[in-house]
């Protein structure tokens, strides 16, 4: 049984959260990895009827993401475990804040502990870094988005964490949008503006009208031939700040403009100020540090901590 305290960021179901069956599948695999034949320490040491209470506490500040992963790890280990979340995903917390209040069979809590923390620490780290990038971009038009540089098997959760941090998602896979990059064009031996436009028009002719087409360019003189093919988004890859601003001017609203490459927390504000629509940052998922969260048992009669 699980409940979440009321929050201004959550009213009813969270539309940003992945479907529960996908969360359960990832958590089930993680639990099986951690205890393939059961938790032999708990089996040998802990009375299966022993019940207790515990809390997940933040040991540093951040942005929360992963409450459903904590709930799934506990429920899938022992459905008798109950958990309450004083905070919703996407909210900030400080060091010392209680993020989850747990009660039930002690052995099950111990068995689920590491899986629950591993996932939530990573997701909260992604959400926290994303929030920093979003705040650095300030009131510009630029959206901060992730990339496909995600941990294999965890993409759906890591993309959720980006949303919890206030960011947006790029294409979720190779199957749901066309992105023509330099290596694609190199394999086709595309040379010259007319050949580039013709190649992209051929791509468009083979696709349903509902498919989004994005093309990566690395030089300003590629913009007009790409726009002539009617693409939806142009990615300006590793452009200088001056060239990004010039690229936005040349596109002139005829397509979305995405900036990619050399996107760090100390560069994102200047990139956003060039007027681009989208800033994609692989660092949100491939270079993130997991936050430090801990699970501790609460002695009988002791306060659970500050929420």
Q: What residues are annotated to the active site?
A: 114, 149, 181, 216, 237
175-200: b (≥16 Cβ within 10 Å) or e? eeebbbeeeebeeeebeeeeebbebb
> Which secondary structure element, helix H or strand E, spans residue 124, and what is its range?
helix 106-137
d(CA 75, CA 24): 10
Taken in order 289, 291, 292, 294, is the CA torsion positive or negative? negative
* DSSP state, residue 280: E
Under 8 Å between Cβ of 165 and 130: yes
d(CA 39, CA 113): 11
The pairing of strands 143-145 and 62-63 is unpaired
């Amino acid at each position: 049984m699980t409940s979440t305290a009321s929050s201004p960021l959550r009213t009813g179901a969270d539309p940003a959260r992945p479907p529960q069956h996908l969360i359960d599948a990832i958590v089930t695999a993680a639990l099986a990895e951690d205890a393939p034949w059961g938790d032999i320490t708990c089996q040998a040491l802990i009375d299966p009827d022993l019940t207790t209470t515990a809390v997940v506490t933040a040991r540093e500040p951040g942005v929360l993401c992963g409450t459903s992963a904590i709930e799934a790890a506990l429920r899938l280990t022992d459905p008798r475990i109950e958990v309450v979340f004083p905070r919703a995903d996407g909210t900030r917390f400080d060091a010392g804040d209680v993020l989850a209040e747990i009660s039930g069979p002690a052995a099950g809590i111990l068995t689920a502990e590491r899986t629950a923390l591993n996932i939530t620490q990573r997701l909260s780290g992604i959400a926290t870094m994303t929030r920093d990038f979003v705040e650095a971009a300030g009131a510009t038009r630029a959206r901060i988005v992730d990339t496909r540089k995600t941990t294999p098997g965890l993409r759906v959760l890591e993309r959720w964490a980006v949303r919890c941090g206030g960011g947006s998602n790029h294409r979720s896979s190779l199957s749901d949008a066309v992105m023509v990059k330099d290596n694609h064009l190199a394999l086709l031996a595309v040379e010259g503006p007319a050949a580039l436009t013709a190649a992209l028009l051929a791509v468009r002719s083979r696709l349903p009208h509902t498919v989004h087409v994005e093309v990566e360019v690395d030089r300003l003189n590629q913009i007009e031939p790409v726009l002539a093919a009617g693409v939806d988004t142009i990615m300006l890859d590793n452009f200088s700040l001056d060239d990004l601003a010039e690229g936005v001017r040349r596109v002139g609203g005829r397509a979305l403009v995405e900036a990619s490459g050399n996107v760090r927390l100390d560069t994102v504000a200047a990139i956003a100020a060039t007027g681009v629509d989208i800033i994609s940052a692989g660092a949100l998922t491939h270079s993130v540090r997991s936050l430090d969260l801990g699970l501790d048992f609460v002695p009988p009669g002791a306060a659970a901590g500050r929420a």
